[in-house]
Amino acid sequence: MHSILRRRGLLAATLAASLLGGIAGGAQAQDNKNTVKVGISVGNAEQIFEVVKKVAAKDGLTVQVVVFNDYQLPNAALAAGDLDANAFQHQPFLDNQIKARGFDLVPVGLTITAPLGFYSKKLKSIDQLPEGAAVGIQNDPSNGNRALLLLQQAGLITLKPEAVKNNTATPLDVVTNPKKLKLVPLDAAQLPRSLDDLAIAAINNDYAEKAGLSFNKDAVIKESPKGPYANLIAVRRADKDKPWAKRLVAAYQSPEVRSFIETQFKGALVPAF
């Protein structure tokens, strides 16, 4: 009887060890996986990631790209586990999304800076902006703040100092508006399509490129490329030290990608690494 119990005990222990080994092996395989799914936004990121994919492939890492046309979706997809990483946003945008939606996401590496511009179909120079003009800005907190700061930089409005300091400016923080501009908050993706109805509009670089607009040639107000809005690669916090995450960052921050960005975009995009 005791012998039977001992054999049963050994069998159970062996089975448990086998199961644990399988779980551990699966976790290790997940840590060292060689295929990653990355969310990006439409436009120039698609071109850049064609180079990233080639560089990553040399290291045995397959990068699968998922293209989004809405800034609100890539972080939700990453948090839900539908992506392994995303590369479309700067730190202020990520901070706002974490605060608003509770995502547990962290940056693991910088990519590019995409200077923001105001564009127009009606004006060749910002000096031509008429009184009472309709001015489009993004309706998300981070990019809306950024657009308002750029309007202040151009001398068109003045914002409350506290809002500027905290990067939280909204149209309610405008304290002087000499030209009586009408600020029109819209979804970032809608702004290029709304240029017929607006005097000028703040348009993020990826949407501007998709609309055939050139930052260097067409923007009537230009943000400095040395500002605080460097884009980044984000992952779930649990994945920040995984080998595949480091390999993805290394592929992006490679000399080949740097050379492509500098040659292809000629200052409209700037490597942030």
Q: pLDDT tens, 204-238?
A: 988 998 899 999 899 999 998 877 899 999 999 99
Supply the pLDDT for residue 18. Answer: 45
Question: Which residue type, as a one-letter code, is found at position 272?
Answer: A
Query: Is 117-222 the same fold as 33-115+228-271?
Result: yes
**Alpha helix ranges (H) inside 128-266:** 141-153, 161-166, 205-210, 215-218, 243-252, 255-265
Supply the pLDDT for residue 143. Answer: 94
Which one of 3.90.25.10, 3.40.190.10, 3.65.10.10, 1.10.10.10 gives the CATH number of domain 33-115+228-271?
3.40.190.10
171/202 Cα distance (integer angstroms): 14
More confident residue, 225 or 28: 225
Average pLDDT over residues 18-42: 70
Domain ranges within the chain, ordered by starting residue: 33-115+228-271, 117-222
Average pLDDT over residues 146-160: 97
228/208 Cα distance (integer angstroms): 20
Residue 99: φ, ψ to 5°: -65, -40
Supply the pLDDT for residue 227. Answer: 78
Of 7-11, 76-80, 81-85, 219-223, the poorest mean pLDDT is in 7-11
Percent of the chain with pLDDT over 90: 82
Residue 108: φ, ψ to 5°: -125, -10
User: Containing H/E element for 11?
Assistant: helix 2-31
Supply the pLDDT for residue 194. Answer: 98
Average pLDDT over residues 10-31: 47
Average pLDDT over residues 158-181: 97
pTM: 0.76
First to last CA, the chain: 69
193/137 Cα distance (integer angstroms): 13
> What CATH fold (topology level) applies to the domain 117-222?
D-Maltodextrin-Binding Protein; domain 2 (3.40.190)
**pLDDT tens digit sequence for 101-133:** 999 999 999 999 999 999 999 999 999 999 999
Confidence tier at 30 by pLDDT (50, 70, 90): low
